[in-house]
Amino acid sequence: MNTDELVRALRPDDLLDDAYHRRRGADLTRILTDPPSRRPSPVRARLLLGGAAAAVSAALAVPVLVSGATGPIVAGGPAGSGVASAPADRVAPVVTLDARSFLLAGADNAARADVKAGRYWYSRERSYEPQPSGEVLVSSTETWYDGETGRGRTTSGLDAEVVAGGATAKAKPTPRTRDFRIKLLTGVGGESLSQDDLWRLPRQAEDLRRWLEARRRGEPSVDFTFSMTRLVLSGPTTPATRAAMLRVLADQPGLRLERGVADPIGRPGAAVVSADGANRLIVDESGARLLAEEYTGPDREEERVGRGVRVGARTGEKTVYESSGWVEKIGERP
């Protein structure tokens, strides 16, 4: 037996076979229901299928925004609803507000937003994923999901691009559409929330603050609050909950407000930035509608917390919330 044969005989085939047979079903279920080209969301979704829990990375963690958000609080600001397309002119601020005042005004606007009835929660998002090579992968995903029946559809791989060194290469679009019937749960602080649970989140700022604090599990308050603001403002939550969330965010110390900015697809708005500059939410000028989020802090490693995983973050990651709202049928858009 030569050295290669000797080393080959050391391969732990029994152990590998055991793991392969034990994990194959759950792995394939989890992976094949994951939309391609998505980065994990800070709030990891979990998928329950056939009674067996299997982790899924953010299958439905990012939908949406407030449909029918109210008008601007600043004269000249765009009301902005639906999917924006062409880059818009920068908005000149007429009134100077600090971040806290801006968010509180946004909360008032969010609370007044109409609630559109419908069976399916629809969202279209665009994600920007920096790669170690320096390239940035860009892709859009559309999702419809009815939490009551578990029926849904996801189409991913739309508008794929690779951006490297300022040059953009359009990748060959390979959109994949999958119809599914599964129960999607969003994990927050060890608790799994259904679509209905998200709808029933506390509607008063103080109640929501207590609810969040009970689930923060040691994560820095500012990071957790920004993550939850993304979830609440982009998810199927009530206008009152969104307003409460903005009030909770407004109480974070050291927030900065940047006016006259645009999101990565050119929609004008204002940026609310955490004191350390790492977390940046771009909202429309009403302050009530989330347009995009950007992470510009140092790379964060994935971290185990109890039985859960706090996913990492890479500097330069962005998610654009292009459109969302309730619709009656799969295929319809708000």
Partner 1 sequence: MDDPEERFTELYDRHYRNVLGYALLRAERQSAEDIASETFLIAWRRLAQVPEHPLPWLLVVARNLLRKQRHLELRPLRLTLSAPEGDVADQVGERQAALDALARLSGADAEALILTSWYGLGPAEAAKVVGCSARTFAVRLHRARRRLADMLNSSQTVLQEQLR
Interacting residue ranges for partner 1, rule: CB under 8 A: 1, 3-17, 19-20, 23-24, 27-28, 30-32, 34, 36-38, 57, 132, 171-172, 174, 176, 301-302, 312
Q: Are 274 and 114 in contact (CB under 8 A)?
A: no
Task: Name the residue nearer to partner 1 (CB basis): 4 or 117.
Answer: 4
The nearest distance, CB 28 to partner 1, in angstroms, is 6
The nearest distance, CB 8 to partner 1, in angstroms, is 4
The nearest distance, CB 168 to partner 1, in angstroms, is 18
Residues 6+ apart with CB under 8 A from 156: 35, 36, 37, 38, 139, 140, 141, 142, 175, 176
The nearest distance, CB 316 to partner 1, in angstroms, is 16
- Token match 């892709």: residue? 139
The nearest distance, CB 11 to partner 1, in angstroms, is 5
The nearest distance, CB 12 to partner 1, in angstroms, is 5
Task: Name the residue nearer to partner 1 (CB basis): 132 or 218.
Answer: 132
Task: Name the residue nearer to partner 1 (CB basis): 115 or 137.
Answer: 137
Distance CA 105, CA 49 (A): 41
Distance CA 328, CA 119 (A): 5
The nearest distance, CB 171 to partner 1, in angstroms, is 8
Q: Could you give the angle at which helices 239-250 and 205-213 cross, rounded to 10 degrees?
A: 70
Task: Name the residue nearer to partner 1 (CB basis): 136 or 212.
Answer: 136
Task: Name the residue nearer to partner 1 (CB basis): 34 or 284.
Answer: 34
Task: Name the residue nearer to partner 1 (CB basis): 101 or 155.
Answer: 155
The nearest distance, CB 29 to partner 1, in angstroms, is 11
Task: Name the residue nearer to partner 1 (CB basis): 30 or 267.
Answer: 30
Distance CA 116, CA 129 (A): 32
Task: Name the residue nearer to partner 1 (CB basis): 129 or 197.
Answer: 129
The nearest distance, CB 157 to partner 1, in angstroms, is 9
Task: Name the residue nearer to partner 1 (CB basis): 260 or 312.
Answer: 312
